[in-house]
A and B are shown apart, each in its own frame.
Chain A
C-alpha cells in the first residue's frame, strides 16, 4: 500500500511538468500581441508596448519564458498579471470560492442522485422509475446555461425567493442554487449509473444469500448491496470534482461568482500565460489527487481489490 502510494505520487512529477509546459505552449501560441488591443480604437504607443513586452519577458523565446516561470513557481511565486496583481492572490481568493461551489454541487448530486438511483434501482419500471428516467433525460438534454438562467430568473428575479447572484461572502444558502445548476447534469448521470448498478447487483448471489440468511432488508441494501454497487458511482463522483471545478465558467458567470473559471477565461482572452498556467496547474493537481483518492477508495469498497 505504501509503495503503491509512493509510486503514484512519483508519477505526478512528469505529468505535472508535461501539463504545465503544454498549457504554457498553448497560451503562447494564441495569436495576437496581448497589448495591441489595450488602447481601444487608438494605436498604443510603441513605448507602452515595449515597456510591457520587456517587463513580462514576452520578447524572449518560449523556453526562456517557461524556464523563468517554473523557476519562480518553485520559489512560490506565481507571477503577476498585466494589471500588476499577484497571481498568487487571485488563486488564493478564487480557488476557495470555486471549491466551495464544486463541493456543494458534488454534495447535491451525490445525495439526490444516489437516493434516486437506489430507489429506482430497487423498484424498476414503477412510477418513480419512469419519473426519474424522464427528469434525468431532461436535465442531461438541457445545457447548463439554460438551467442556470431559467432558475435564476424564476427563483431570483421573478419570485424573489433567493438572491439571484452570490454575494462576495459566499454564504452556503446562496450557493445551493448555483450548486444545483452546476451539478444538475452530473446528478442525472449519477442517478442512472447508480440505478443500473443496483439493479444488476440486486440479482447477485451474495444478495440472494443475504436475504436467505434472513437479514433485514435495510441491512441487505444499506450494507451489502450499496457498498458493492458504489464503485462506478465513486469513480464518477471522484473525477467529477475536477470537472466541476474546471467546468464552472458558465455557472460562475451567471451567478457572478468570483471563481477560477472567470479568472482563467479572462486570462486566456488577454493572453496572460502566468495566470492561466498557475490556475490550471492547481486544477491538474486536484484532478491527479482525486484520481488517486478514487483508486484508494476502491480498495476500501471492494475487499477483492488490493494494492501492492
Chain B
C-alpha cells in the first residue's frame, strides 16, 4: 500500500476560490520530429521522497514512483492490470508452489555497469528481511523459509522498554544461489501467488555497491537496473533522471531526460500544467474536479483512469458495540454509495460493489451484497440486532481530503437508520494510524487499500485473515482463515482464486468493513507529449512517453 502524502491543507483553502475561477487556456503545440523527441526531456510532478531511495524501504508514492522507474524486477505488471509477465526473469519454475527455481536473463546491467546476477537478488532480499536493518517492507519476505531467524519481533512492541533480540541468522535458509544466473527460493508453505509478488518494488535486486557502503548513503544516489538512471536530487526542489543506454529489457525510453519537480502544493503544479510548464501531473487537485473544470482546462490532454484502490470504512471489531454482524450489515446497507460518488466525487470515483477491486485478477465483480443500498432491509437488520445505542463516530484523518465524503456517509446513516452518527477528523495521519495500530478506535474509521501486487490474495490475506498485516479491526473468522490458507497454498492460481471466492462469500456475510468507492485518477499531460500510458497503479509509464 502506498499512500500519497502531499499536504493538502492549503488546497482546501484554495479550493473555495478555485471553484470560482474557470476558463480555458491555450498554449502552442510544438511539433517535434523523431530526432528531437529521442533527446527530449519531460518534467513531471512529484513529492519529496520520505525515505532514502532504497526499494525495500519505500512505501509512499513520492519515492515509490522513482524506484518503479529506476528498477526492473523479475516480473512486471502490464499496464492493463492483467497477470504479471516475466521481465528480468527468464523463467520461474515450480512443481509444488513451495520451491521456486528462478533463472534470470544473462548480462543485463546495473546503472554502474556491473552485471545483474542471482546473488544481487538473494543479498537484497536478505538485507530487506534482516530486522536490525529496519526496512519498512520487511514483512513481504515472510513467505520465505528462515524468515523468523532473521526477523525477530520486539517482545513488548516499539513503545515498550525491551529490545528485540538479535536475530539468530543474517540470511534466510530458503534462499540459495545456484550460479550467476540461477537461484532457488524455498518457501515455508506452498504459495501460488509468490511469483506475482515478485514485481513489487521490495523484491528488486541491489548492486554490489549497496552492500559495500551504508543504505543511507546509497539512498542518496541510488543505482538501479531500470530504463532510467539517477542524476541528482536537490532537496525539496527536483530529482533528475536520464535514460540508461545499456538497458536491454522491455521497451527502451523514447525520450532522454525525466525531471521530477517537487511541489508542496498541488494547485501550483496544476497551474504549471494548464499553462504548459509541466508535462505530466498524476492527480489533478480536488479543486479542479468540481464541475469538471479540469476537463475544460485540459481538453484532450485530460486523462481519466481507474486505479486498483478502494476507499473503505472499517469497524473496530474489538469494540463490543460492533460485534454483531447484523448491525454492521445494517450500517453498510444504509449507505447510498452512488450518491456519494456522484455528489462528492463528481462521478470521478465509482461506487464499490465488490470486496476486491474489480481490476484485480481473481476478483469477482459485484460480490459485495452488503454494498447495496437497501434502507428497508437495513432497518429490519438493525431492529434484529437490537438497535444501536449511543453515538456512532466515524473517524478520518483531517490532513487529506476525506472530510466531505465521511460526513456524507455519517449523514446518510443518521437519516436512514436514525443512529446518532457523525464524522470526526483526527488532525494528522500519524496520530490516526497510531490509534488504529494500538486498537484504540472508538468508532468506525476510514481506511483505504491499494493493491501491492495484482492478485485477489492481496485483498483478502492482509485485510480479513486473523493476524493479517492490515487487519486493524481484529476481525477473525476461523472458516475464512481456513479457506484463505487453503487458497494461498493451492497448487495453481485458478484453484487459489476459486477458494478465495469462497472465503469472500463468508466475509460478505460478516461485513468486517464497508467498501465505499473504487479509486479513480484524473491526470493531465502537456501538448508536448504525443503519446503516453499509465502503469497498472496509475503512475506514468515513462518508457511509453513520446514527444
Chain A nearest CB, measured from B271 CB (Å): 4
Which residues 390-431 of B sit at the A interface, judged by CB distance below 8 A?
Answer: 399, 428-431
7 A-B pairs with C-beta separation under 8 A: A37-B433, A38-B136, A40-B448, A83-B52, A90-B235, A93-B237, A269-B7
B235 touches A157 (CB 8 A): no
B59 touches A94 (CB 8 A): no
Interface on A for B, CB 8 Å cutoff?
31-53, 55, 82-85, 89-90, 93-94, 145-146, 149-150, 152-153, 156-158, 160, 163-165, 168, 249-250, 252-256, 258, 262-263, 265-266, 269-271
Complex Cα gap A157–B272 (Å)? 8
Complex Cα gap A173–B137 (Å)? 46
Complex Cα gap A266–B27 (Å)? 33
Complex Cα gap A157–B434 (Å)? 42
Chain B nearest CB, measured from A145 CB (Å): 6
Complex Cα gap A55–B168 (Å)? 22
Q: Which residue of the partner chain, among A36, A41, A145, A149, contacts B434 with CB atoms under 8 Å? A: A36
> For the complex, is B146 an interface residue (Cβ under 8 Å from A)?
no
Q: Which residue of the partner chain, among A45, A94, A160, contacts B275 with CB atoms under 8 Å? A: A160
A149 touches B236 (CB 8 A): no
Q: 11 more A-B contacts (CB under 8 A) besides A36-B433, A50-B134, A164-B268?
A: A32-B428, A37-B428, A37-B433, A42-B470, A46-B154, A48-B135, A55-B134, A83-B50, A253-B10, A258-B237, A269-B399
Complex Cα gap A51–B271 (Å)? 40
> For the complex, is B29 an interface residue (Cβ under 8 Å from A)?
no
B139: A residues at CB distance < 8 A:
45
A33: B residues at CB distance < 8 A:
158, 430, 434
Chain A nearest CB, measured from B389 CB (Å): 30
Complex Cα gap A238–B271 (Å)? 33
Complex Cα gap A226–B73 (Å)? 71
Q: Considering only CB atoms, which chain B residue lies closest to A80 in the complex?
A: B216
A52: B residues at CB distance < 8 A:
134
Complex Cα gap A145–B27 (Å)? 26
Complex Cα gap A142–B202 (Å)? 49
Q: Considering only CB atoms, which chain B residue lies closest to A97 in the complex?
A: B237
Q: Which residue of the partner chain, among B136, B431, B450, contacts A39 with CB atoms under 8 Å? A: B136
Q: Which residue of the partner chain, among B3, B49, B432, contacts A83 with CB atoms under 8 Å? A: B49
B462-474 vs A: 1/0 string, CB under 8 Å?
1000000110100
B387: A residues at CB distance < 8 A:
none
Complex Cα gap A168–B13 (Å)? 25
Complex Cα gap A139–B512 (Å)? 53
Chain A nearest CB, measured from B288 CB (Å): 12
Complex Cα gap A163–B277 (Å)? 8
